[in-house]
Amino acid sequence: MCGIVGLYLKNDKYENRLGELFAPMLIAMTERGPDSAGFAVYGDEVDDGVKLTLRNEDEDYDWSALAKDIEAKLDTKVEWFQNSKVAVFKVDIDAEAVENYLMENHQDVLIMSSGKSIEILKEVGLPERIVNLFHLENMKGSHIIGHTRMATESAVTMAGSHPFSTGMDLCLVHNGSLSNHNRLRQELKREGIHFETENDSEVAAGYLTYRLQQGDSLTEALEHALDDLDGFFTFTIGTKDGFAVVRDPIACKPAVIAETDDYVAMASEYQALTTLPGIENAKVWEPEPSKVYVWERTTH
């Protein structure tokens, strides 16, 4: 099973209500995925430098000390805030310098995402608990994708939860299972893609990161994915300015898309869309197999 949901605003009309609109969508997919849930929210973009979502299992972890350490050692200014076990750090140097420093000096800190816009929050437990834990309903932004997990292929852990981010601002949620992820993981590792888990979905995210690094557009990367990923999948993908949905050629994992002048929303099932404004008059359809659906902001 698993449930996936996404909401992409085509204009800024609902930016202040993004979390409020999305929370019931995620909770509606509880029956498809009660093991864990997570979401990647895009917004509060940094102009210079990078934004990192960091995590430590100790809720009392001293993020202030970490921020001061980074400021001193990397000669940069750090703005940060904490949300449960997660802290979002904004720094005005490039991501790689901070990531390398953290990996060498603070191995107890997990880097959940890095980019200009993305923040990833996920946890084991029922979606409603996770929505409340992270105060999703108060969040603002331009787009958001989420996942409720019914674990099949790897353990019920926070690390095995979705979304997966393997590159700047890129994030993927997956309903299905991949059959060639082991070999593909080895190939991608040789190309320099870093993986945190043994999860098949992380390989899909890593594959897209690799393709984008090779110069593909999001559409081209997903078209290549249709050739190279074997298995069942409905994917929803977020980038800094983009949102995409794609299903494998068999398309046995469900998906429905709704579009209005204000937003594009996708979900595994229509139930998750019923609370959206104007859904009664939205264009609602089932995405076709092997067809890449992409929405991108040209000005941002």
Partner 1 sequence: MSTKSVAESVTTSGKQTVDLAQQTVRDLNQALHDQNKELTIAEWEVLNPKGEHNLAVGLDQKLKVDIFGPVGYYCAGMNKEADITVHGHAGQGIAENMMSGSVRVKGNASSAAGATAHGGFLVIEGDAGSRCGISMKGIDIVVKGNVGHMSCFMGQAGSLVVCGDAGDALGDSLYEVHIYVKGSVKSLGADCIEKEMRQEHLDELSALLEKAGVDEDPKAFKRYGSARQLYNFKVDNASAY
| Residue 75, token pair as written in the block | 């000669």
Nearest to 167 by CA among 224, 219, 112: 112
Q: Does 223 bind partner 1 (CB under 8 A)?
A: no
Among 82, 154, 180, 271, binds partner 1 (CB under 8 A): 271
Cα separation, 107 vs 181, whole angstroms = 26
CB 70 within 8 A of CB 89: yes
- Binding segment (CB under 8 A) for partner 1, from list 111-119, 121-129, 138-146, 269-277: 269-277
Determine whether 2 is an active site residue: yes
- Who's near 102: CB < 8 A, 6+ residues apart? 54, 109, 111
Smallest gap, in angstroms, from Cβ of residue 251 to partner 1?
6
Q: Is 269 in the site for partner 1 (CB under 8 A)?
A: yes
The four Cα atoms 156, 161, 167, 172 give a dihedral, to 10 degrees, of 130
26 binds partner 1 (CB under 8 A): no
Regarding 171 and contact with partner 1 (CB under 8 A), the answer is no
Q: Which of residues 80-99 bind partner 1 (CB under 8 A)?
A: none
CA nearest 2: which of 163, 184, 237, 227? 163
Check residue 266 for interaction with partner 1 (CB under 8 A).
Answer: no
- Report, in Å, the least distance between residue 298 CB and partner 1: 30
Residue 62 in the binding site for partner 1 (CB under 8 A)? no
Nearer to partner 1, 242 or 254 (CB): 254
- What DSSP line would sit under 21-58, residue for residue? HHHHHHHHTGGG--SEEEEEEE-S--SSSEEEEEE-S-
Among the listed residues 101, 195, 270, 295, the single contact to partner 1 using CB under 8 A: 270
Q: Which amino acid is at 179?
A: S
**Residue from 1, 2, 126, 258 carrying the catalytic annotation:** 2
Q: Does 289 bind partner 1 (CB under 8 A)?
A: yes
Q: How many residues line the site for partner 1 (CB under 8 A)? A: 15
Please answer whether residues 235 and 246 qualify as being in contact, where contact means their C-beta atoms are separated by less than 8 angstroms.
Answer: yes
Over the window 243 to 262, marking each residue x when it contacts partner 1 by CB under 8 A and - when it does not, the resulting string is --------xx-x-x------
State the sign of the Cα–Cα–Cα–Cα dihedral 199, 150, 144, 268.
positive
From 86-94, 143-151, 225-233, 268-276, span contacting partner 1 (CB under 8 A):
268-276
Residues annotated catalytic, as ranges: 2
Chain residues that interact with partner 1, rule: CB under 8 A: 251-252, 254, 256, 269-274, 284-286, 288-289
